[in-house]
């Protein structure tokens, strides 16, 4: 292999400085396709979740969905790879996952290309980290026709996959790199579990602080409010619809989504052109206002922490009496509120728009303002913990991304 092109990463562990430079080979030279069929054997059926990896079908779908095609499924073993040729947002050229934690498994032969590392001087975990960075996507994208699909899969000639160039150091260095990155993955998984716990805890509190679909009163109250009554008021007693268009064009245009809430468009990837003329019909949103989509309701009224303007295709709600808007920020996310509003929308879904009247007729629980504030403060404190934990996870992911960029030669350098 001495006549092969060599390369070095930006960052190398000190003990490997005397090692040879990395040699560039191809995926096809270090692996072989797997076409072994299940036949009559009984193997655990797998599917793939982009970013997570191979998971049992029962875990992903609640059941196994092979049917009569099961006998033709591919059999893969621990440390084998499966290329799912279905595009996702994170992996538009498809996702490659390595089988871990299972001795063997079965995968649909219709959308998966499976392969096994056969080169003894190649560490599968090292290759796996390369794929998790979407290295393969950068290589394959120029060979995939835009929109070309067969049976819901990307139309990819696997010869291009096998010809993908890969830079490899000696195995000992591969193992060290894989171990470091795997430790970060373990930290991310651990911290993600803590985040899941916090989100579950918050959901549990919301289910108890607010009436459920079956009950009129909450299951949990702070003891100082046990003897306080809870009033129930209709939406029009609490909020006014706002259509004030007297605004300055230098206010940010807000984008509304369940993922981001109410947020200036420039803070997210929201490439919708808005002309100066159309801005004249936009509505002013003040801090503390609530925004409902007129065109459809999918379970959310978004709370704005920004002053800005938004499309006339939204209802702007502003409180008309002295209430804690943060309390309603959380109440509008409860299952009961969503169910009640959806009941009012029955029969008007076929292309018709949601109107303020559907909201105004709803009866909403209104405890004493001090109780509203205490509930909001409690949930806000959990949200702060959630946001801190999410930031910690994002920092770990960015740290891993930075290491990947330095511990591996760049894609552009490898294919030169």
**What CATH number does residue 221 fall under?**
1.10.287.1120
- Asked if 189 and 295 sit in the same domain, the reply is no
Do the Cβ atoms of 6 and 23 come closer than 8 Å? yes
Bridge partners of residue 135, in order along the sequence: none
15 vs 149: CA distance, rounded Å: 47
Say if residue 27 is in the same domain as residue 155.
yes
Using the 3D structure, point to which of 168, 187, 215 is the last residue of a domain.
Answer: 168
Cα–Cα distance for residue pair 408/406, rounded to 1 Å = 5
Which one of 119, 142, 168 terminates a domain? Answer: 168
Handedness of CA 256, 261, 265, 268 (dihedral sign): negative
CATH of the domain at 279: 3.90.220.20
* HSE toward the beta carbon, residue 121, CA cutoff 13 A: 10
Per the domain annotation, does 99 fall within a domain? yes
**Measuring CA to CA, how many Å separate 35 from each of 12, 72, 112, 318?**
37, 9, 10, 62
* 209 within domain boundaries: yes
4 falls within a domain: no
CA separation (Å) from 321 to 162, 243, 291, 336, 367? 67, 18, 18, 23, 13
pTM: 0.83
Would 12 be classed as within a structural domain? no
| Domain count within the chain | 3
Nearest to 124 by CA among 161, 85, 159, 175: 175
In a domain, 29, yes or no: yes
Nearest residue to 166 (alpha-carbon basis) of 197, 120, 128: 128
Considering the domain architecture, whether residues 261 and 361 belong to the same structural domain is answered as yes
Residues 35 and 162 in one domain: yes
Q: Specify whether 255 is located in the same domain as 206.
A: no
Whether residue 10 is contained in a domain is answered as no
Triad 242, 304, 349: Cα angle to 5°: 65
User: Is the same domain home to 185 and 235?
Assistant: no
Do 143 and 49 share a domain, yes or no?
yes
Residue 9 falls inside a structural domain:
no
Q: pLDDT by residue for the chain (416 residues), tens digit each?
A: 456 789 999 999 999 999 999 999 999 999 999 999 988 888 899 888 877 789 888 887 877 777 778 888 999 999 999 999 888 888 999 999 999 989 999 998 888 899 999 999 999 999 999 999 999 999 999 888 654 444 456 888 899 999 999 999 999 999 999 999 999 999 999 999 999 999 999 999 999 999 887 777 899 999 999 889 999 999 999 999 987 766 566 788 887 777 777 878 776 655 555 555 667 788 889 999 999 876 655 546 889 999 988 888 788 999 999 999 999 999 998 988 888 877 766 544 444 556 788 889 899 999 999 999 999 999 999 999 999 999 999 999 999 999 999 999 999 999 98
Q: Do 257 and 361 fall within a single domain?
A: yes
Domain that holds residue 222: 173-226+367-410
Kindly state whether residues 187 and 130 are assigned to the same domain. no
Domain annotation covers residue 261:
yes
Do 131 and 199 fall within a single domain? no
Do 241 and 132 belong together in one domain? no
| 393 Cβ contact partners less than 8 Å away, ≥ 6 residues apart | 188, 191, 192, 195
* Residue 355: CB atoms within 10 Å: 15
């Amino acid at each position: 292999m001495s006549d092969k092109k060599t390369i070095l990463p930006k960052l190398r562990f000190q003990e490997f400085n005397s090692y040879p430079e990395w040699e560039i080979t191809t995926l096809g030279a270090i692996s072989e396709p797997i076409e072994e069929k299940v036949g009559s054997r009984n193997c655990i059926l797998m599917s793939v979740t982009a970013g997570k990896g191979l998971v049992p079908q029962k875990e992903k779908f609640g059941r196994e969905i092979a049917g009569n095609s099961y006998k033709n499924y591919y059999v893969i073993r621990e440390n084998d790879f499966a290329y799912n040729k279905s595009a996702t947002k994170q992996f538009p050229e498809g996702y490659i996952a390595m089988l871990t934690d299972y001795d063997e498994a079965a995968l649909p032969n219709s959308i998966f290309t499976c392969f096994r590392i056969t080169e003894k001087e190649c560490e599968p975990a090292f290759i796996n980290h390369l794929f998790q960075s979407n290295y393969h996507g950068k290589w394959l994208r120029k060979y995939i026709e835009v929109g070309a699909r067969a049976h819901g899969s990307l139309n990819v000639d696997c010869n291009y996959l096998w010809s993908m160039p890969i830079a490899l150091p000696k195995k000992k260095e591969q193992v060290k790199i894989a171990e470091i990155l795997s430790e970060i993955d373990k930290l991310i998984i651990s911290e993600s579990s803590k985040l899941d716990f916090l989100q579950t805890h918050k959901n549990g509190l919301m289910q108890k602080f607010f009436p459920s679909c079956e009950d009129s009163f909450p299951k949990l109250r702070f003891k100082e409010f046990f003897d306080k009554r809870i009033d129930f008021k209709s939406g029009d007693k609490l909020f006014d619809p706002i259509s004030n268009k007297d605004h300055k064009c230098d206010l940010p245009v807000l984008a509304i989504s369940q993922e981001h809430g109410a947020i200036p468009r420039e803070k997210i990837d929201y490439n919708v052109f808005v002309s100066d003329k159309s801005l004249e019909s936009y509505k002013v949103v003040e801090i503390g206002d609530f925004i409902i989509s007129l065109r459809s309701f999918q379970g959310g009224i978004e709370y704005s922490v920004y002053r800005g303007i938004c499309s006339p295709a939204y209802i702007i709600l502003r409180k008309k009496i002295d209430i804690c808007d943060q309390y309603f920020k959380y109440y509008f996310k409860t299952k009961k509120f969503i169910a009640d509003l959806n009941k009012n929308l029955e029969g008007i879904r076929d292309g018709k728009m949601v109107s303020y009247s559907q909201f105004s007729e709803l009866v909403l629980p209104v405890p004493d303002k001090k109780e509203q504030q205490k509930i909001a403060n409690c949930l806000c404190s959990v949200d702060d913990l959630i946001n801190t934990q999410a930031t910690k996870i994002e920092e770990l992911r960015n740290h891993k991304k930075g290491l990947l960029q330095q511990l591996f030669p760049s894609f552009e350098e490898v294919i030169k």
